[in-house]
Structure 1
Amino acid sequence: MASDDISQLADALSKTHVGDGELSYKGLGLKLDNEGSVEDLVREIEQYQGLRALRLEGNTVGVEAAQAIAKALESKDQLQRCYWSDMFTGRLRSEIPTALMSLGSAVMCAGARLTELDLSDNAFGPDGVKGIEQLLKSPSCHTLRELKLNNCGMGIGGGKILAEALTECYRHSSALSAPLKLRVFIAGRNRLENEGASALAKAFQLIGSLEEVHMPQNGINYAGVMALASAMRHNPELRVLNFNDNTFTKRGTLAMAQALRHLRNVQVINFGDCLVRSEGAIAIAAVLREGLPILKELNVSFGEITEAAALVVAQAVMDKPHMEKVDLNGNCLGEEGCEALKEAMENNDKGDLLGSLSDDEGEPDDEDDEEEEEEEDEDDDASDDCNEDEDDGEIVTGNGTPRKDNSPEKPQSSAEIVSFLSCPSAEKLLQLGETRTKLQQQVDASDPHKASEVLLNIASLYSEDQETKAAVFETIDAVLKKLLSGSDLQSYCFLSTLLVMMGLLKGEGKMKKVSLVPGQLLCLEHAVQQEYFPQHHASLLHIFVSKNSDALKPCSSAGERLSFTLEKMFNDQH
């Protein structure tokens, strides 16, 4: 080793922080190629009594150097934390697994019990995961609490290997009556995609102790998101969920919303740049209303959320006492929408919670709608059965909403009800007599599309004839009372689907909009004034009706009546 190299290393080591059980070579920029280049470093490790943490990040370590360091670690049985991120810069990818195997073998040989392992920013790919596979399966990782593998290029293959290793670690540790209790998992920018994410989801569901999950930028779409959502609900201590920059769309967002209903300790939700869109935003708002009591941060930025849906989210965070930040930047609010959102937050003394709206995309145009529908058509081709997740007596359907698999079957429909549903008419409705209220048995909030269709068909029969009007109102009341009696998530999903069919909300995929008739609006005007119709549901309708009045122009008089009634209810509330 040249004298100037020795001098450089000696100078670097003199700056090393040594104390509190930690030996740090962080950020020294050392080029450690062989055994000779690490002599002083090895000596310090060997002489350090009670070594509990070793920082090697920010240097570049070759195979021979790693083997020499590993030999020094073989006697360090108190080692708990390995900060080994960004330590293979400029190395051949083929070198990294060998170096990692050497270091991992040393930890196992020493009988150390790790609590934290950080290998982030090492572009080692699937082979690199193989390099730590045996370590992760070993008793040395039975005590692991934090695993950080950010920006490692693991890919689908690496994700599967990692999932298998964590699963085996959990099973072996459980057999010893001390199950793995992993708390923090970080694996952003790894190209895990659906297969890798789904494999890891199975491991997460088994482990059940996660408190933080960070998996941004992994190319995961709704199928992988749904698998992860199912796993998250089995980790009741979750505090932080970061899936930024993946692709949720409606199905993934509804599945995540369903998972969030089971979690009471979540403080940070980062679904930014995930194409949450308006229907997804409404579902998240529903969960905010009925749960998440200690939420501090919500990020649904860059999600193609429109003004009305953003206002629904804003309303839902008003009663969160611990809320610190709401990020709705980069959505499709438009200039007036941004002002309306700011005003709504400020009027409730929550203006300081709202993040910047400087990157708003402006109101979407019709061309954007057509492109999105084509994009979603590909998703709709998949069978809903392929996307069901049976769990704890619930099934999350392809549209993300739950239905009970143990609920009693619907009673056999009478021939008259079947006839009415197949071809509704006022005459058939009147002929049903008292049995018309049984129509509510034919609707289910877990199938919001069918429920909306039935409701609109009944409402379209409205007329000023007193007998017909009374029959229609009676039936509408029975149907809506059932549909709005479940969880806020189910009722919000139903209402958002209803709004899409009425043309008041931009939806995803192929959902046929109805040609509105006055009776449908007049039935809604009647319904929102009934006791079974919660105020916050009426408030949701008020937002969309007031922001999309053009869609109601074909039924101007009935539309005005509905708008007036909702506006009056809104003003009375405030």
Structure 2
Amino acid sequence: MQLTKGPEWGAFAHWGSDSVILQQIATLEELVMPQNGITVKGIEALAKSFISNPSLRVVNLNDNTVTETGSYALAMALPSLPKLEVLNLGDCLCRDQGCHSVVDSLSPVVHRNLKEVDLSGSELSGAAAMKIIEKWRKFSSAVCLTIASNNLGQTFELIRNMAPENVQIGDSGDDQGSCSSSEEELRSVVGTSDDEKIDETPSIEEDSRSNEVMSLIKSCEENLERVQDQFESATQEEAARLLLELANIITRSGENCEVIEMAYNVAQNVLHRVQTVRRKPISATSQVLNNLVAQAGFVKCEEKWDIPIDNASLSLLLNQLVARGYFLDQRDIIGKYL
């Protein structure tokens, strides 16, 4: 089944009901909605519906206001789309962290049918583009990535020379050179129309909330550094403890993409090290997952660890690890309990 909504639909007024309808369809194969004026809330609603439509092959959200926040929501849903062939997020203002989240969530193991991903017009910096190109090497040469019309600036020629044939960076004349204003993202977040004036003067309440969030982020970063130092000597039980702490950090992060990405990367390092440990008859990774399932309360455990557990955050972390090629033999268990 194909759903196509063009610009004539405008910026839908009832995203809640639309997303419910999409969830009920459950057989959607193509979602083509370019230039619909969709803001972050709409993108988040769409992302939720993707999980109920695992047969999606084409997702075209070109020229909508996805931003970093919307990119994170999409990244969480992409591992549930194993038949995905085309993902078009061109001119969606995904920016550096948003592009990283999307690329990290795509896996050559899960997304075996993937053909092309468009991240052009994302306000992607040169430094981020180089890292993303390196990440893209996980895919075969048949899978194309487009990152044209971004903000590569003086690094354009360097990136063009380092990019493999399956990464298209466009012409230097189309490069934007430097990042543009974040005014459109601000409108997307607060739901302000072009005709409404944005009051850029922060209130005392906003300042207080901002300081509180920054304090939480700093605390999360300190926890991450501590956890990263510990994982070098991690056993299966210690590795499970670290993953629970990382899930707790995701819960406390206030959906900060940078902190969450750091948590994912540390978790990947933990699992990479655990995989080198040979255990029979139960593998080391299976023992780690068994500990997590027990601590989450799904089966009886002898000792309850003093670590707060949010099953939703733990599920996000584990599914991200699956997307990165870990716990592949334990996907059924993760799906059953989390």
Q: Map 1:206-285 onto structure 2 (within 5 A).
A: 206-285=24-103
- Alpha-carbon distance, 1:534 to partner: 5.8
Specify whether residues 477 and 247 from structure 1 end up closer, same or farther in structure 2 by C-alpha distance, changes over 3 A only.
same
1:185–1:214 contact (8 Å) kept in structure 2 = yes
Q: Map 1:343-492 onto structure 2 (within 5 A).
A: 343-345=161-163, 350-358=164-172, 359-364=174-179, 368=180, 371-372=181-182, 376-377=185-186, 452-457=217-222, 476-477=229-230, 481-482=242-243
Kindly report the root-mean-square deviation, in angstroms, between the aligned alpha carbons of the 2 structures: 3.9
1:215–1:244 contact (8 Å) kept in structure 2 = yes
Partner in structure 2 of residue 300 of structure 1 = 119
305, 308, 311: which one pairs with 2:130? 311
- Aligned equivalents of 1:484 and 1:310: distance in 2? 30
- Alpha-carbon distance, 1:360 to partner: 1.0
190, 195, 211: which one pairs with 2:13? 195
Report the AA paired with residue 532 of structure 1: V
- Aligned equivalents of 2:127 and 2:245: distance in 1? 21
- Alpha-carbon distance, 1:485 to partner: 6.4
SS in 2 for 1:351: coil
- Aligned equivalents of 1:321 and 1:475: distance in 2? 31
- Alpha-carbon distance, 1:494 to partner: 7.0
Query: Residue deviations 1:36-65, cap 9 Å, x none?
Result: xxxxxxxxxxxxxxxxxxxxxxxxxxxxxx
Specify whether residues 189 and 498 from structure 1 end up closer, same or farther in structure 2 by C-alpha distance, changes over 3 A only.
closer
- Alpha-carbon distance, 1:316 to partner: 2.6
- Aligned equivalents of 2:257 and 2:230: distance in 1? 15
Query: Residue deviations 1:74-107, cap 9 Å, x none?
Result: xxxxxxxxxxxxxxxxxxxxxxxxxxxxxxxxxx
**TM-score (norm: length of structure 2):** 0.58
Q: Which runs of 5+ in 1 are unaligned?
A: 1-182, 383-447, 460-471, 501-526, 536-574
- Aligned equivalents of 2:75 and 2:221: distance in 1? 26
Report the AA paired with residue 40 of structure 2: Y
Count of residue pairs brought into register by the alignment: 235
- Aligned equivalents of 1:327 and 1:380: distance in 2? 26
- Aligned equivalents of 2:184 and 2:76: distance in 1? 24
Q: Map 1:33-112 onto structure 2 (within 5 A).
A: none
SS in 2 for 1:269: strand
Report the AA paired with residue 230 of structure 2: D
- Alpha-carbon distance, 1:198 to partner: 4.4
- Aligned equivalents of 2:74 and 2:228: distance in 1? 33
- Aligned equivalents of 2:111 and 2:68: distance in 1? 21
- Aligned equivalents of 2:122 and 2:147: distance in 1? 8
SS in 1 for 2:59: strand
- Alpha-carbon distance, 1:454 to partner: 1.5
Identity between Structure 1 and Structure 2 (%): 28
Partner in structure 1 of residue 258 of structure 2 = 496
Partner in structure 1 of residue 330 of structure 2 = none
Partner in structure 1 of residue 3 of structure 2 = 185
- Alpha-carbon distance, 1:310 to partner: 1.8
Report the AA paired with residue 308 of structure 1: A
Specify whether residues 210 and 449 from structure 1 end up closer, same or farther in structure 2 by C-alpha distance, changes over 3 A only.
farther
**TM-score (norm: length of structure 1):** 0.36
- Alpha-carbon distance, 1:308 to partner: 2.2
- Alpha-carbon distance, 1:495 to partner: 7.6
- Aligned equivalents of 1:232 and 1:475: distance in 2? 33
- Larger gyration radius, structure 1 or structure 2: 1
140, 153, 161: which one pairs with 1:334? 153
- Alpha-carbon distance, 1:314 to partner: 1.7
Report the AA paired with residue 103 of structure 2: A
- Aligned equivalents of 1:226 and 1:458: distance in 2? 28
1:210–1:235 contact (8 Å) kept in structure 2 = yes
- Alpha-carbon distance, 1:200 to partner: 2.9
Specify whether residues 232 and 286 from structure 1 end up closer, same or farther in structure 2 by C-alpha distance, changes over 3 A only.
same
Query: Residue deviations 1:465-489, cap 9 Å, x none?
Result: xxxxxxx967853699448967xx9
- Aligned equivalents of 1:531 and 1:219: distance in 2? 39
Partner in structure 2 of residue 532 of structure 1 = 270
- Alpha-carbon distance, 1:362 to partner: 0.8
Report the AA paired with residue 193 of structure 1: A
Query: Residue deviations 1:95-126, cap 9 Å, x none?
Result: xxxxxxxxxxxxxxxxxxxxxxxxxxxxxxxx
Does 1 or 2 have the higher relative contact order (CA < 8 Å, sep 6+)?
A: 2
Query: Residue deviations 1:267-326, cap 9 Å, x none?
Result: 100010111111110101211247423211010111111122222322232122363421
Partner in structure 2 of residue 84 of structure 1 = none
Query: Residue deviations 1:154-213, cap 9 Å, x none?
Result: xxxxxxxxxxxxxxxxxxxxxxxxxxxxx1122222233142554332211101111111
